[in-house]
Amino acid sequence: MCGIVGYTGKQSAITPLIEGLRRLEYRGYDSAGIALGTPNKLFIEKRAGKLANLEAELGVKIPTAQSGIGHTRWATHGGPTDRNAHPHVDNEGKLAVIHNGIIENYTQLRTELESRGHKFESETDTESVAHLLSDLRKSHKGDLSAAMREAAKYLRGSFTLLAIHSDAPTIIVGVRRNSPLVVGLGDGENFMASDVAAFIDYTKRAVELGQDHVVTMTPSAISITDLEGNAVVPKEYEITWDASAAQKGGFSHFMLKEIFEQPKAVADTLVGRLDENNHIVLDELHLSKQEIQNLKKIVVLACGTAYHAGMLAKYAIEKWAKITVEVELASEFRYRDPLIDSQTLVIAISQSGETMDTLMALRHAKSAGARILAVCNTNSSTIPRESDAVLYTHAGPEIAVASTKAFLTQVIAVYLIGLHLAQERVVLTGVQVKEIFNELLELPSKIEQILETVEPLRELTRGFAQSTSVLFLGRNVGFPVALEGALKLKELAYMHAEGFAGGELKHGPIALIEEGTPVIAILPASHEHGLDEKMLSNIQEVKARGALVIVIAQESAVVTGATHIIRIPDAPSLLQPVLATVPLQVFAYEMAVARGNDVDQPRNLAKSVTVE
């Protein structure tokens, strides 16, 4: 959940460290700190609150140093205070550690270290690692890399650790277990960070690190070993997006920029996915036609917004491919006895590829013999590496904590999977697949159309800024959209918001309706089963009890009973969620702005949930 960055090289370390932390602040903004590699004793500065607090404290007192480590924190053990901010140091002030994750056996470790005379200054689990490394380094005659290998064997939990010592300040040592760490390779300088965004201004060459790999970094070289000290050959790759993609580009917030990037993100996810023979091209799946035909069921694992994309996957895959799909909250999946085997395909959806709940559920499914397909936006992250196959969404960097373009591209990705499975199982013909694919290709321009006419919605939203609760209604594929709309509003506006299936309204939720309650209803695109008529009845029910009803409806739909209507372009029923979600994103964004909230960094949240 935290952002970490390390630098050693030819320039003053403070610039790449602060720039890197600014890029990583979306991962945690409870506090920030740095340790600079000055001789005799490290220079340490850290402050609670956002990075700006640290920068203000640094002022002009920064010493000259060409190496250092930096951290932005999302608090787990110990509150967001100056004392609990990272880095944490040993009692000599010569060794500093930063940490992302949780040390599960820190209580036992702290007791042992205190019995040996170590004095603790914080409430964190991380400080115990600083004292442990200090002792181990001495026993290894000053070898910090050997100390880190031994420490990692002792520690339980999920963690990325970076350490620096003033006796050899140009050396930074890192290790990762169930938590992200990537190395950037520069010219006479090298980087470590929890996300490539931290060093994208300086290099596009990166190295992926595997589980329990220890990396030792100097200005001129890196070396990687396993915990036994055996050398690991670095696997280098190129970062395919540039620094400008992580800038606001004239928008007031990253979230607004990312909302407006959705037409391109959706288009990029569709590029090259249909060949001249009308076949969906998903070579990444590594599943033969026979294996696909032998599948008994599909299980989708995801959390939060990705879970809503998984719900839409169920509708599409079951309709197109005629195979049973179960959608599971990854955080709950392994705490029962799920029925999966070698004829089960598990689709794990994660924007970051580091979501700990999803990763642990994936491992559980894999141990039972299931095939794993990851849907992810982050190249070479842990979930894709541990899966049998990966379908990347090509959304580009998503900096705002509340997901927008990552969600839409996840939906497109699972739709592509559904079409591919349908074709391989001979449920849909090439002509039928091409027709659906062409409708998918029309979505970017339709999203653009919504965004070009969004100003009245933004103005309308500001009128609801003082509301205490907003309810969302949907039926069929509109139900996951309602859940996603409610989640966005909770994340950003800090207000009560709930999504309900329209048919469940009379089973309890209608009791929440009172005079003036805003209700947002997604009118189904389909006349099948009378879904649209049923939703219109739901609208009348809440209106009769005093609700102010905002209806999201297609251009051709006839709407009655609405207080306000938000029109979206016509689209087939299964594709409507891609369009209907966009106004809900704008509604949540504008509500947060109107209420004076921090849009990109909402309280208590971080972008990548790397702890359980």
Alpha carbon distances (Å) from 575 to 313, 429, 443: 11, 19, 8
Question: What is the C-alpha separation between 363 and 330, in angstroms, rounded?
Answer: 11
Starting at the earlier edge strand, list the strands of the sheet with 95-103. Answer: 88-89, 95-103, 157-165, 172-177, 213-217, 222-225, 231-232
> Distance from first CA to last CA of the chain, Å, rounded?
10
Q: How far apart are CA 57 and CA 18, in angstroms?
A: 13
Catalytic residues: 2, 607
The residue with tokens 């917004």 is 305
With CA atoms as reference, report the closest residue to 399 among 373, 378, 425, 420: 378
Residue 579 near residue 446 (C-beta atoms within 8 A): yes
Q: Give, for 159, the enclosing helix (H) or strand (E).
A: strand 157-165
The full 3-state SS of 36-72, as one line of letters, equals: ECCCCCCEEEEEECCHHHHHHHHCCCCCCCCEEEEEE
Q: 87 preceded by cis ω (within 30°)?
A: yes
Q: What is the dihedral of CA 110, 161, 379, 221, to 10 degrees?
A: -160
User: What's the token pair of residue 476?
Assistant: 């069929």
Asked whether 584 and 461 are in contact (CB, 8 A), the reply is: no
